[in-house]
């Protein structure tokens, strides 16, 4: 058992190594060191462009945040009161039918104890019948 | 020779020390490209990853600790670059890899000789590896493509060796499941 497991593991490993090896057709072209050096020398320009775009994005974000900060106190009360109105209306709409259900649950016309006792009696009777049936058939 | 390469490329003179950047690129470029190819599953992506690996290595070569193996340092950069590449372009890459795999399926009507069976098996294993979650794919590739030990993988990935061991086991189990399911 243990040996089979080891064989499986070895097979997996050999199979994996074989599969992942680079085929002759997959070999990459030679990397040109001169190109790498030239690209590395381009760095200041790209770094400056990156810095510029970051600064621009930062300024845009700051402007947008400032605009929101200025406009918010003006529109907040109106938006807030409308939202509050809508929330109150929704709660009222749900509360009316729910109150009737709650009242019925609090004052049941049939006592809960009687309903429960009836259920227990039905279950007991059913179990007895099954027992009798099993006794006569076996 | 190393000095002339360094001068020709306008590299700092520190690069002319025993392990030069040029030597590193020459010696390890197949391995760097290979790890990128096996992690991304796509040739163009692997070329991009390998190029940016060498670019980053070139820029950071003065910080490279020469008492440690250059191979591990390059593989660490390549692995990180490949992971970032897959994270950035994951969806697009998966679509391209799926198309490549679909077009690369062998003609089943042809008589299956030993070589075509082996080729098909390799393709199946590679497809299964490319479908592994990145966490497991990286350790599987470093173990079975680059032939690194668990401790070396831990150094390259920066994960604890015990974690690497567990991830290798789990990765192999996932691969086995995927390959058995594909049968």
| Contact residues of A toward B, CB < 8 A | 9, 12-13, 15-22, 26-31, 33-34, 36-37, 39-41, 43
Q: Which residues of A touch B22 (CB under 8 A)?
A: 33
Between the alpha carbon of residue B60 and those of residues B3, B21, B56, the distances in Å are: 18, 10, 6
How confident is the model at residue B8, as a pLDDT?
A: 42
> Over the stretch B14-42, which tens digit does the pLDDT of each residue have?
444 445 788 888 888 999 999 999 999 88
Q: Which residues of B touch A (CB under 8 A)?
A: 5, 8-11, 21-22, 25, 29-30, 33-34, 37-38, 43, 46-47, 50-51, 54-55, 58-59, 118, 121-122, 125-126, 129, 140-141, 144-145, 147, 172, 175-176
Q: What is the mean pLDDT of residues A114-138?
A: 84
> DSSP per residue over B44-96, as a string?
HHHHHHHHHHHHHHHHHGGG--TTS-HHHHHHHHHHHHHHHHHHHSHHHHHHH
- Name the pLDDT band for B9 (thresholds 50, 70, 90): very low
Asked if the model's pLDDT at residue B55 lies above 60, the reply is: yes
> Considering only alpha carbons, which residue of chain A is nearest residue B54?
A36
Mutate to test the interface with B, among A16, A22, A30, A32 (most CBs of B within 10 A): A16
A9-23, B33-47, B93-107: segment of lowest average pLDDT: B93-107
Between A121 and A15, where is the model more confident?
A: A121
Res B5: pLDDT: 39
Flag whether the ipTM exceeds 0.85.
Answer: no
Q: What is the pTM of this model?
A: 0.60
**CA A15, CA A13: separation in Å to the nearest integer?**
5
Domain B1-98 = CATH 1.10.3720.10: no
User: Domain limits of chain B?
Assistant: 1-98, 110-183
Chain A residues touching B46 at Cβ < 8 A: 28
Q: Min CA distance, A23 vs chain B (Å)?
A: 10
Residue A58 has pLDDT above 90, yes or no: no
Q: What is the pLDDT of residue B7?
A: 36
Q: To which H or E segment does residue A85 belong? A: helix A43-106
The greatest distance separating any two alpha carbons of chain A, rounded to the nearest whole angstrom, comes to 99
Mean pLDDT of A75-97: 87
Of A43-57, B95-109, B132-146, B169-183, highest mean pLDDT = B132-146
Question: What pLDDT band is residue B12 in, cutting at 50, 70 and 90?
Answer: very low
Mean pLDDT of A49-77: 83
- With beta carbons under 8 A apart, name residues in chain B contacting A15: 121, 125
Class of domain B110-183: mainly alpha
Taking residues A109-120, report their average pLDDT: 80
């Amino acid at each position: 058992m243990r040996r089979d497991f080891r064989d499986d593991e070895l097979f997996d490993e050999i199979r994996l190594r074989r599969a992942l090896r680079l085929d002759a057709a997959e070999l990459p072209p030679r990397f040109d060191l001169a190109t790498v050096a030239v690209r590395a020398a381009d760095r200041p320009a790209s770094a400056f462009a990156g810095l510029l775009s970051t600064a621009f994005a930062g300024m845009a974000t700051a402007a947008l945040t400032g605009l929101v900060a200025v406009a918010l106190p003006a529109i907040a009360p109106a938006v807030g009161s409308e939202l509050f109105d809508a929330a109150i209306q929704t709660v009222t709409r749900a509360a009316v039918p729910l109150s009737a259900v709650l009242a019925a649950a609090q004052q049941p016309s049939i006592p809960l104890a009687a309903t429960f006792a009836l259920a227990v009696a039905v279950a007991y009777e059913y179990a007895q019948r099954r027992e009798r049936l099993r006794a006569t058939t076996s | 020779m190393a000095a002339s390469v360094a001068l020709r490329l306008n590299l700092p003179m520190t690069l002319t020390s025993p392990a030069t950047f040029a030597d590193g690129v020459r010696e390890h470029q197949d391995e760097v490209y290979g790890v990128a190819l096996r992690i991304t599953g796509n040739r163009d992506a692997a070329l991009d990853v390998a190029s940016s690996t060498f670019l980053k290595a070139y820029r950071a070569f003065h910080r490279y600790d020469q008492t440690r193996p250059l191979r591990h340092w390059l593989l660490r950069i390549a692995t990180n670059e490949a992971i970032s590449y897959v994270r950035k372009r994951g969806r697009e890459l998966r679509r391209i890899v799926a198309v490549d795999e679909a077009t690369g399926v062998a003609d089943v009507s042809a008589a299956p000789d030993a070589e075509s069976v082996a080729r098909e098996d390799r393709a199946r294993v590679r497809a299964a590896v490319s479908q592994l979650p990145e966490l497991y794919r990286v350790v599987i590739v470093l173990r079975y493509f680059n032939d690194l030990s668990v401790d070396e993988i831990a150094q390259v990935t920066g994960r604890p060796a015990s974690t690497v061991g567990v991830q290798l086991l789990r990765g192999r189990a996932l691969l086995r499941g995927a390959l058995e399911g594909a049968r």
